Structure 1
Amino acid sequence: MKTVGILGGMGPEATILLMQKVLRAVDAKDDADHIPLIVHQNPGVPSRIKRLIEGVGDDPGPVLAQMAQDLEAAGALALAMPCNTAHAYAPQILAASTLPFLDMRAATARVLPVGRIGMLASPAVRMTRAFDRVFQDAGVQIVWPKDEAPVLSLIRQVKAGQVQSGSRAEFQRIGEDLLQSCDHLLVACTELSLLTDDLPDGLWTDSLDCLVREIVDFAKG
């Protein structure tokens, strides 16, 4: 098994969820059958919401670049990052390390159906156009909610550990509204990955699941 380094800190719940999904993705008979991970859970990564949406705050790029170097020095053989928004800083990560970067966007594009895909993601993903190129190459047309404020509100709730009793129902409503103008939904925020229980079966993909498959395939390969 090859060791994968995880750039964490962009929501501790998301990092924990990634690790749980990686554990469940392996048909392990013993401890030694699991995927070796080195997790850099760094709460010092500057806020992507403040930097990209509000236009204030420090640049996360240099911190993520240093984390990539730390993981390489620690023995990781590839890098993965369970934060869709932070993929806007992938060029800095690639420049800082010689390791392969398991890109969540590319992994997702490979499994999405061709057509109109409704994005359930931070507005920062739209603003940075971080997914646009790889999705266009895959024949995917991105559709955004007309009102992104409720989506951002749910993301903030998860980050603050203040998920309310109606949060999952609100997320379901947002998804169903978006399906009126698209063929399939993409959950492209790992905070929102925690709210997917009530989304319509068979009509959505979670980019975190796509990254998990990429991690397992690399480690076993």
Structure 2
Amino acid sequence: MQQFFSILGGMGTMATDSFIRILNQRTPAKNDQDYLNYILVNHATVPDRTTYLLDHSKTNFLPTLLEDVEQQNSLKPDFMVMVCNTAHYFYDELNAASDVPFLNMPEETVKEIKHKFPTAKRIGLAATQGTVASGVYQPIIKKAGYTEVDPTPAIQQKINDLIYTSIKEEQGHVDATLYHTILADMVQDMKVDAIILGCTELSLAEEKAPDHNYPVVDSQSTIADRTLELALKLRQERQAK
């Protein structure tokens, strides 16, 4: 196969399934050949990202992902995208190992804030404990000129319950009431103007329970759009030659 991109996924699998579904639904296609060419690496056995980031004595997930990047390099994709926010802790190392452009989910998500909520100033981060504790998003949010607000311990526990108990343990089940409660707590208690969904399980929650009016910026939806834009741009450039 030629003219394709590679998706590093499986962290977790149900969230990756959501990304693929969104990507395909948004692709302007009238027949089979209009859809995008891509390789999905659903590497479900990548060591847990949060476990390592909270305790560096645990298994480091970077070597596993570097192997994935090297495997994809040998296939010569046009670009790579990784659909796990927490794994972007090692973005610089993975990007350096890649022979092709490697999209950055947190950076693209923060850029999306000004388009969706141009007057926003206080940005809440809803994510795994690993993402919050390791600073995957905070420097990018602050560099963009926003005030970054981490979840309170009580809200973080609710986020953990939604990610790990509701979605991961129950194979994609979304507790919509819990999800909406988290958003309400962040807006009302933390006084944020917008909320970054900085975990792809939370993106799955947004896909399945979008019936709310809270100001969310969905990282997975954003990176799906950027992936689609780049893939279509490259296709158009080749067709024009």
Q: TM-score range by the shorter chain?
A: over 0.9
Structure 1 distance, partners of 2:6, 2:103, is: 10
In the alignment, which residue of structure 2 is the partner of 1:66? Answer: 67
Q: Choose between structure 1 and 2: higher helix proportion.
A: 2
Structure 2 distance, partners of 1:69, 1:144, is: 34
| Structure 1 residue 164 displacement after superposition | 6.3
Amino acid at match of 1:22: L
| Structure 1 residue 6 displacement after superposition | 0.6
In the alignment, which residue of structure 1 is the partner of 2:217? Answer: 205
SS of residue matched to 1:161: coil
| Structure 1 residue 56 displacement after superposition | 4.5
Structure 1 distance, partners of 2:49, 2:129, is: 11
In the alignment, which residue of structure 2 is the partner of 1:153? Answer: 161
Deviates more, 1:53-62 or 1:37-46: 53-62
- Seen in structure 2, the aligned counterparts of structure 1 residues 149 and 51 have a Cα distance that, compared at 3 Å, is same
Matches within 5 A, 1:18-97: 18-97=19-98
Matches within 5 A, 1:174-213: 174-180=182-188, 181-196=191-206, 197-198=209-210, 200-201=212-213, 203-213=215-225
| Structure 1 residue 55 displacement after superposition | 4.6
- Seen in structure 2, the aligned counterparts of structure 1 residues 164 and 8 have a Cα distance that, compared at 3 Å, is closer
Do the aligned partners of 1:169 and 1:198 also contact (CA within 8 Å) in 2?
A: no
Structure 1 distance, partners of 2:98, 2:48, is: 22
Q: Point out where structure 2 has 5 or more consecutive residues left out of the alignment.
A: 115-119, 234-241
Structure 2 distance, partners of 1:63, 1:199, is: 37
The alignment yields a C-alpha RMSD, in angstroms, of 1.9
Match of 1:220 among 188, 209, 232: 232
Structure 2 distance, partners of 1:209, 1:8, is: 15
Percent identity for Structure 1 against Structure 2: 26
Structure 1 distance, partners of 2:162, 2:52, is: 19
Matches within 5 A, 1:132-171: 132-147=138-153, 148-157=156-165, 158-161=167-170, 167-171=175-179
Show CA shifts across 1:54-92 (max 9, x none): 554210111111111111212311111111111001122
Show CA shifts across 1:89-121 (max 9, x none): 112211222211111111111110341111111
- Seen in structure 2, the aligned counterparts of structure 1 residues 182 and 208 have a Cα distance that, compared at 3 Å, is same
Amino acid at match of 2:125: M
Amino acid at match of 2:60: D
- Seen in structure 2, the aligned counterparts of structure 1 residues 30 and 156 have a Cα distance that, compared at 3 Å, is same
Do the aligned partners of 1:47 and 1:57 also contact (CA within 8 Å) in 2?
A: no
Match of 2:133 among 127, 145, 164: 127
Which structure has the larger Rg over C-alpha atoms?
2
- Seen in structure 2, the aligned counterparts of structure 1 residues 22 and 143 have a Cα distance that, compared at 3 Å, is same
Runs of 4+ in 1 over 6 A off after TM superposition: none
| Structure 1 residue 45 displacement after superposition | 0.8
Work out whether 1:106 is the aligned partner of 2:107.
yes
Do the aligned partners of 2:183 and 2:214 also contact (CA within 8 Å) in 1?
A: no
Aligned residue pairs total 220
